Amino acid sequence: MSLNLNDKKAIVKEVNAQLASAQTVVLAEYRGIRVGDMTQLRAKAREAGVYLRVLKNTLARRAVDGTVFSSLASEMTGPLIYALSVDAVAAAKVIQDFARGNESLVIRGGSFAGKVLDKAGVTALANIPSREALLSQLLGVMQAPVSGFARGLAALAAKKEAEAA
């Protein structure tokens, strides 16, 4: 079923709105992927807050025109699925995790903060811990001196108490 002009304009507008708030775009070729697998991928993307869509490449090129992702236009060939996320690593992580278990999904590239990434770049981005994990690591590092000091005081108090007894 072909789209009329108004439908195409609506799709371009919707994708452009998603791109306005996105930090990362990942392109993956989905040739040969089964419908059930695609449904699983969409569910995982929804859970992670990733906008995932199969688009006509001409509409995708129009949507990225004038955005920081416009340099991706030359990569938009073939049957592609587009993953966009506000979180810097979410789109890359969802696509990378799914591609590990399904050879039919092939990462073609992406863009992060206006820089075009190849497959290795997307993989490297996917291996970065999530924002929540990084924040918890930072909190652990910040709490280490305080907890060490508290243990030292407790040991000193126990020593003083033992000496007094």
pLDDT band at 147 (very low <50, low <70, confident <90, very high): confident
Question: Crossing angle for the helix pair 57-64 and 5-21, nearest 10 degrees?
Answer: 50
Helix (H) or strand (E) holding 28: strand 24-29
Asked if residue 99 and residue 134 are part of one domain, the reply reads no
Asked if residue 92 and residue 29 are part of one domain, the reply reads yes
Asked if residue 102 and residue 78 are part of one domain, the reply reads yes
Q: Indicate if the alpha-carbon torsion angle 126, 77, 115, 18 is positive or negative.
A: negative
Asked if residue 92 and residue 20 are part of one domain, the reply reads yes
pLDDT band at 103 (very low <50, low <70, confident <90, very high): confident
Asked if residue 71 and residue 10 are part of one domain, the reply reads yes
What confidence score (pLDDT) does residue 126 get? 87
Asked if residue 79 and residue 17 are part of one domain, the reply reads yes
The total number of structural domains that make up the chain:
2
Asked if residue 151 and residue 87 are part of one domain, the reply reads no
Above 70 in pLDDT, residue 1? no
Q: Domain of residue 121: give its range.
A: 5-128
Could you tell me the CATH number of the domain that includes residue 75?
3.30.70.1730
10-19 pLDDT, tens per residue?
Answer: 989 999 888 8
Mean pLDDT, the chain, rounded, equals: 87
pLDDT band at 142 (very low <50, low <70, confident <90, very high): confident
For residue 18, give both structure tokens. Answer: 């998603």
pTM of the predicted structure, to 2 decimals = 0.75
Asked if residue 110 and residue 40 are part of one domain, the reply reads yes
35-81 pLDDT, tens per residue?
Answer: 999 999 999 999 999 999 998 999 999 998 888 898 888 889 989 99
Close Cβ partners of 152 (under 8 Å, ≥ 6 residues apart): none
